[in-house]
Each structure stands twice: as C-alpha cells, then as structure tokens.
Chain A
Amino acid sequence: MSNQKVLEVKNIDFFYDDFQALENITMDVEKNKVTALIGPSGCGKSTFLRTINRMNDLIEGAKLEGDILFDGESIYQENVDVVNLRKRIGMVFQQPNPFPKSVFENVAYGPKIHGVTDKAKLEEIVVESLKGAALYDEVKDRLNKSALSLSGGQQQRLCIARALAVKPEVLLMDEPASALDPVATAKIEDLIEELKNNYSIVIVTHSMQQAARVSDMTGFFLMGELVEYDKTDKIFENPSDQRTEDYITGRFG
C-alpha cells in the first residue's frame, strides 16, 4: 500500500530578518499518519510547524525560500489563498488559547466565518466536533458557559474541537500537552491515536516518550536542521545519525 503524501517540504530555508532559523529542510508527511518532530528547545521545530500553515506570515521580517506542496500544490506561490489554507490545515497551540466566549461560540467560530449560518447545522457541527475531541460529555451541560471556566486539559481539548469544526485535512499540534498534567496528557494522546484515522497529524513535542508512544514517523531537529527522518521505531531503536543517538540516549538536550 503506497503511502499518500499530504505534505511535501522541498528544501526550505527560513529566516527571521538575517537570522537563519531553518536550513535546507526536506521531508514528506504521509496521509493519516502521526508525524512527530523532536529535538532540543529552540532548534526550529515550532518555526517549521508554522511554515506549514503560513502562520509565520504574521511576523515582520519572516522569509521563506524553497517550497511546500500541500496535496501536490505549492502553498507559497504568489496568489495562494492563505485564509483557505488555514482552514484546511488546523493548528493547536502549546498554551490553550480559547477565545473569551462561551464553549459553544468557540467551536462555532470557524464554521460561522466559513459561511454556516443555520442554527441547527451549527449545533450539529459543534456537538460533532466536541465528541471528536472527547470533550462533549464533560461540557454538554455548559455549552453556554465561558470557555475559561474549563480546566486546562479541557480547554486544550476545546481548542482541538475548535480546530476540528472546520473539517481540516491536516492538524498541526505544537506541544499540545506540555502545559497539562499527566492525566490530561494521557487523554490528549489517546485522542491523537483516534484522530489519525481521519486527519494527518504533525506534532511537535519535547517529550521523546510521547513521540515514541504516539507517532508513526519521527523527525529529529537540531539547530535548524532536519538531522534524521524515519519511521519512529527505527529512530528510537536504531538511529542512523550519531547526533540522533546522542539525543535519544540523553547525552544532551
């Protein structure tokens, strides 16, 4: 069974003004798989993640050379519709960042701006997304309460539900569990396991154990370079590059 490529990263270099944050990154992300990005802090993993949905465009002085193909089409061309891109590629952040609105309004935000106005349809989407994020049972009685009244773990799952509500194809997760306690983390990891059936997931994590548990493919980043990228089993049991092995065995980072 050939693995379909949903994202193809082709030799990208990334700069913040004069500082080069990413150097010659090439990798393919496979459909309906979980791809983990590991590496020490500050080595470019989050920056790389943000190039995929062009969130770096919001930063002045950010520049990318090279290209990324999404479903075979370049996303860095002149007239690419970035707004639509971000609908098809969703993102969950490290710190849960629900809007200061109700639970319902948070999840309904995406569908609303993309044209859904029918109340019944909105409700349907909200319920479906909350279920998809394994949150529905916990909040079904307080959909109209402020999202900020939820616990940290619940807020993060709310952010996932919010991302799911626009039916993306890819889900980018930037250290989604790092701000959460172990119980909440476990719930997120279970969720990821389920989600990959319907979405392609790229997850940045500083926890190697998490990467080993959850992902199919793993990429090891060091100082803005993609040192090694392979099946997760191979990376953790028999890495090809010495630097990878040093990191895995804890010699640094």
Chain B
Amino acid sequence: MADLKKKRMLTDKIFKVIFLVFISLGLVVLAALIYDIVSKGIVMLDWEFFTRFDSRFPAKAGIKAGLFGTLYVIGLMIPITFFIGTATAIYLEEYAPVNKLTDIIKLNIANLAGIPSIIYGMLGLGVFVRYLNMGRSVLAGSLTLSLLVLPVVIVSAQEALKSVPDSLRNASYALGANHWHTVYKVVLPSALPSILTGFILAISRAIGETAPLIMMGALTFVMFTPQGIMDSFTVMPIQIFNWTSLPKTEFELVAASGSLLLLILLFILNGLATFIRYKYSRK
C-alpha cells in the first residue's frame, strides 16, 4: 500500500514540474522574441527611420510609407468599424426579436470570427477592388480590414451590453423614457468602457494584419505616402514582411526595427485598453 502511495505522490510531483515547465515555455519564448527584436531593432531605429522611404540600400531604408499607410487605413477604419460594430451589437442585444432568425445571425457572426484572415483578403479583392472598382486603394483596404475585425468588435460589444444590469434599464423605463432613449442615454454609456476596450484590442489586431492587404494588392515597395483614400498604399507589417524576404542580411536589422516599432505601437494601444478597463471597472 505504501508503494502505491509513493507512486501517487511522485506522479503528482512529476506532473507539477512538467506543467510548470510548460508554462515557462511560453515565457521563455516571449522573452527570447522580445530580446531578439529589441537587440536587433535598436540598431537602426533612429529618427530618420521614420522619415525615409524604403530603399534598395538597407542603410537608407525607412518606414515612412508604411507608417503613413497604416495611419490612413486604420484611421479610416476606426469610425466605420466602431459605428457598424456597436450598432449591430445594440440591435442584437436590445432590439432584435428573440427568434430563430436572430439566433442564426448571431451564429453567423460567431462563425465569421473564425474564418482565416486571408479569406477576407479574397473578399476584399473580389468585391472592393474589382467589383466595386475601388482599385487597390486605401478605401478598399480599410473596408476589408473592417469586415475582418467586425465580428470580434460585435461579440465583445454584445458582452459589454449584456453585463449592464437590468435594474438600470428598468429604472429608466420607470421614469418614462422610451426604448431608444434608455439604450442611448443609460445602457450605452454604462457599457462604453468595455466596448472601447474590446474595440481597441480589435484595432491592434488590424494593425498587425498582413495577409488580407497583400491579397488585395497593397504594394510592397512603395516610395510615397497616400494623399487620398483612393490612393494605393502599403502598411507597416507589409514593409516588415518585404524586408524579411530580402536576401541582403542587413535588411534583417531593418526588419527588426520595423517590428520593434510595430510592437511599441501595439504595446501603447494595449496599455490604453488596459487603462480604460481598470479605470472604469472600479465604478
């Protein structure tokens, strides 16, 4: 009997160690990745990196085109996605009748969230670039990315709306407010911090997206910044991808600088989202 006991305790201890190693794996990789990007990226990250365009010479390569392209595309995307995403969530949670059709729509959105991003690229290529004749423009890119992150925005906004207690709604009705008034003035403000947090995280995801934009024709070697929404463009991740694919090893450092910049940008955004989450959860 004692042998079995020992075996059981040993098994428990062994697996504790194994699981601990597993968790450390993620930490180790993250540490290695950050170390790698920072140590390589710092080398060429100077003010001129921001103000130069891409070049055949690594020492002269800069991320200006990608930076502006990202700003344009994401900038255009933000109001579109926020409006449509929040409105859809409001409809589904506050207005839609409880029936099978609504269930199907909700199921459809959950499904869209799981479709690979490159398929959205095909959608963008077929519909926006070709069928609607927008060409390989900032507008087409924004719309494509909007559709990509929309399901995530909708679902997180739905969760935010669901967590507003009914007591608030009832109090509003009891004061004589109609449905829209209640939603707009009571429910929405209460849910807004959570909606924003989810939205910011969705935008960070969009900033890092490469495949759909490559698919719909964002260029890789670009020496200009977009002047209007119908101009062609590139974005930071695509420039990074381009530099990574080039044979000259110095470009490896340039790619690291681009990655570092991208990570810093995302870090700031995530910090913002976390800040909002904490500030408003103490209410």
Taking the complex as a whole, does A directly touch B, i.e. does some CB pair lie under 8 Å apart? yes
Q: Which positions in A face B, CB cutoff 8 Å?
A: 81, 83-84, 113-115
Within 8 A of A (CB), among B1-40: 1, 4-5, 8-9
Determine if A113 and B8 form an interchain contact, defined as CB atoms under 8 angstroms apart.
yes
Knowing that A83-B9, A113-B8, A115-B4 are A-B contacts, what are 5 other residue pairs whose CB atoms are under 8 Å apart, sorted by A's residue number?
A83-B5, A83-B8, A84-B5, A114-B4, A115-B1
| Closest partner residue, chain B, to A114 (CB atom) | B4
Contacts of A115 in B (CB 8 A): 1, 4
Instruction: Give the 9 A-B residue pairs with the shortest CB-CB distance, closest first.
Output: A115-B4, A115-B1, A84-B5, A83-B8, A81-B5, A113-B8, A83-B9, A114-B4, A83-B5
Residues of A within 8 A of B4 (CB): 114-115
Q: Which A residue's beta carbon lies closest to that of B4? A: A115
Residues of B within 8 A of A (CB): 1, 4-5, 8-9
Complex: A81 Cα to B5 Cα, angstroms:
10
For A81, give the chain B residue with the smallest CB separation: B5
Q: Which residues of B contact A113 (CB under 8 A)?
A: 8
* Chain A residues with CB below 8 A from B9, complex form: 83
In the complex, A3 Cα to B41 Cα: how many Å? Answer: 78
Task: List A contacts of B5 (CB < 8 A).
Answer: 81, 83-84
Q: How long is the Cα–Cα vector from A114 to B9 in the complex, in angstroms?
A: 12
How distant is A85 from chain B, measured CB to nearest CB, in Å?
12
B100 smallest CB distance to A (angstroms):
29
| Shortest Cβ distance from residue A170 to the other chain B in the assembled complex, whole angstroms | 19
9 A-B pairs whose Cβ atoms sit less than 8 Å apart in the complex: A81-B5, A83-B5, A83-B8, A83-B9, A84-B5, A113-B8, A114-B4, A115-B1, A115-B4
Contacts of A83 in B (CB 8 A): 5, 8-9
A98: min CB distance to chain B, Å: 23
A175→B4 CA distance, assembly (Å): 34
Shortest distance from the beta carbon of A205 to any chain B beta carbon, whole Å: 34
* Bound complex: CA A84 to CA B1 (Å): 11
> Within the complex, what minimum Cβ distance (angstroms) separates A167 from chain B?
13
Chain B residues closer than 8 Å to A81, beta-carbon distance: 5
Nearest CB to that of B7 among chain A residues?
A: A115
CA of A113 to CA of B5 in the docked complex: distance in angstroms? 10
- Measured CB to CB, the nearest residue on chain B to A87 is B5
B13 CB → nearest A CB, Å: 12
In the complex, what distance in Å separates the CA atom of A81 from the CA atom of B1?
A: 14
A200 to chain B, nearest CB (A): 22
Residue of B nearest to A115 (CB): B4
B9 nearest CB neighbor, chain A only: A83
Residues of A within 8 A of B1 (CB): 115
With A and B bound together, what is the CA distance between A83 and B8 in angstroms? 10
Cα–Cα, bound, A251→B228 (Å) = 82
State A115–B7 Cα separation when bound (angstroms).
Answer: 11
- Measured in the bound complex, the distance between the Cα atoms of B6 and A115 in whole Å is 12
Q: How far is the CA of A114 from the CA of B7 in the complex (A)?
A: 11
CA distance A212 to B9 in the complex (A): 42
A84–B9 alpha-carbon span in the complex (Å): 11
Q: Across the interface, which residues of B come within 8 angstroms of A114, CB to CB?
A: 4
What's the least CB distance linking B4 to chain A, in Å?
A: 4
Closest CB-CB distance, B15 to chain A, in whole Å? 15
Q: How far is the CA of A84 from the CA of B5 in the complex (A)?
A: 8
Q: How far is the CB of B11 from chain A (nearest CB, A)?
A: 11
